[in-house]
Structure 1
Amino acid sequence: MTNHIALFEPLMPSNTGNIARTCAATDTVLDLIYPLGFRTDDKSLKRAGLDYWDNVNIHYHDDLDAFLATIPDKQFLYLITKFSDQVYTDPDYSDITKDHYFLFGKETTGLPEPFMRANPDKALRIPMTDKVRALNLSNSAAIVIFEALRQQNFAGLEKSHRYPHDKLK
């Protein structure tokens, strides 16, 4: 089982860097869909990801269709958007034998409207007030991936950590 965070045409290197750090912390694959709004050697991208880049499994895709072609079972593709009546906690992500793909849109415009209209059953929303247009992309990715991981009982993740001087009893 692998979880994927996929970013469609991300524009802000700091968001992508923060998401990469979350991917390193959760053993989640990061899928980046071109065109990117920055170069991958951008200083703010590297700074946001800190020294975790070697621990991030990144896949690059030429466009949305190329990314979609890599998904073996579209049943496990989720489109994160504000245009949905379904909440991100509604689906069952607990099947750890399947790969789960969480696709997030561009910071300014989201996912392409024709694509979203063709796939309303895959669209999920993070509930929020109407006082903001959207949550920050890196925060949204963290919210969604940790819900999936919670349902998967945090498989493969360290659930507790002790100070070095503490002894296990």
Structure 2
Amino acid sequence: MIKSEQFEILTSHQNPKIKFVTELLNSKGRKKHGLFLAEGLREMQIALKSGFTPVQIFFNSEFIEKKGLHSLSFFNLPKYNIFEVDKNLFSKIAYREDTEGITGIFKSCKTTLENLVLSDNPLIIVLESVEKPGNLGAVLRTADAANADAVIICDPIIDLYNPNVIRSSIGCIFSKQIVIANSQETINWLKSKNISILSASLTATKFYHETDLKKPSAIIMGTEADGLSDIWLTQCNEQIKIPMLGKIDSLNVSNATAIIVFEAIRQRGF
């Protein structure tokens, strides 16, 4: 059992620490402070395994003990950065209805294209103007499952640290290198690294499985509504598509990304 007397107990909405957590639930607050929230035991564990340490932790002992967590020592944080939160109050700062009773504050990552560490035969996922948090989170899970080198998000419409991105990624926001950049600088960087630019397009004449994905490759995915912009269609090495045998002409972007990425993994011999 976690001994609540070890930690400062927060019981009021007016507590400055609770107000600060609430501020981080919105994009403006996250950008202002360069911090974000990650809620959930699995997400926190992946963060630790990936080398990320929370700045502060907020928990409710009743919630987390139901999940079998009876100690917070593995976070290796000083007690003055860990806070017990009243059950009803925690429900107010949680963004999950089925909260696990633990959330952490983390520093936003500011990786750049120049700082990316690539394997000898890189596989990169590029998303242009991704719109839906759930799709972005699902693509991050795919990137982790396929051990892609990086995910580059070009001209994003949503905030990378939106709570729904983190939730749908189940913590994979921590396990992969992620860069936010504009499209032209990304194209220039990919070309400088001799990475083949493969743009998914409904008008492509070549199917994805007919393409050589064994070489250094960047798979470029656009929005479901509009696809990729002209800059990616005119400056790519190849346009590729997924065969569609029914009445619709496209898949959810996260599903389409997974199909193409795992074809690359298949070609490379898993």
| Structure-1-length-normalised TM-score | 0.80
Note if 1:128 corresponds to 2:249: no
For residues 70-94 of structure 1, give each alpha carbon's deviation from its aligned partner in whole angstroms, at most 9, with x where no partner exists: 1135661100111111000111222
For residue 84 of structure 1, the aligned residue among 204, 218, 221 is: 204
The ranges of structure 1 where at least 4 consecutive aligned residues each deviate by more than 3 angstroms after the TM superposition are: none
Residue from 155, 170, 184 that aligns with 1:65: 184
Deviations 1:99-148 (A, max 9, x none): 210001122201114652x3586100100035113100000000000001
The answer as to 2:228 corresponding to 1:107 is no
After alignment, is 86-95 or 142-151 more displaced? 86-95
How many residue pairs were aligned? Answer: 148
Amino acid corresponding to residue 31 of structure 1 in structure 2: I
Higher helix proportion:
2
Question: Over alpha carbons, which structure has the higher Rg?
Answer: 2
Higher relative contact order (Cα pairs below 8 Å, separated by 6+ residues): 1
For residues 25 and 41 of structure 1, do their structure 2 counterparts lie closer, same or farther at Cα, with a shift above 3 Å needed?
same
2:224–2:251 CA contact under 8 A, matched in 1: no
Superposition RMSD in Å: 1.8
In structure 2, stretches of 5+ residues that fail to align are 1-120
SS class of match (1:93): coil
- Aligned partner of 1:40 in structure 2 is 160
Percent identity, please: 22
1:164 is matched with none
- The partner residue of 2:176 within 41, 56, 73 is 56
CA contact (8 A) 1:13 1:38 kept: yes
Q: Taking structure 2 as the reference length, what is the TM-score of the superposition?
A: 0.51
Given that residues 77 and 103 in structure 1 are in contact (C-alpha distance below 8 angstroms), is that contact kept between their aligned partners in structure 2? yes
1:9 aligns with 2:129: yes
Could you say which structure has the higher strand fraction? Answer: 2
1:41, CA displacement in angstroms? 2.0
CA distance in 1, matches of 2:254, 2:219: 13
**Preserved CA contact (<8 Å) 2:208 2:241:** yes
SS in 1 for 2:199: strand
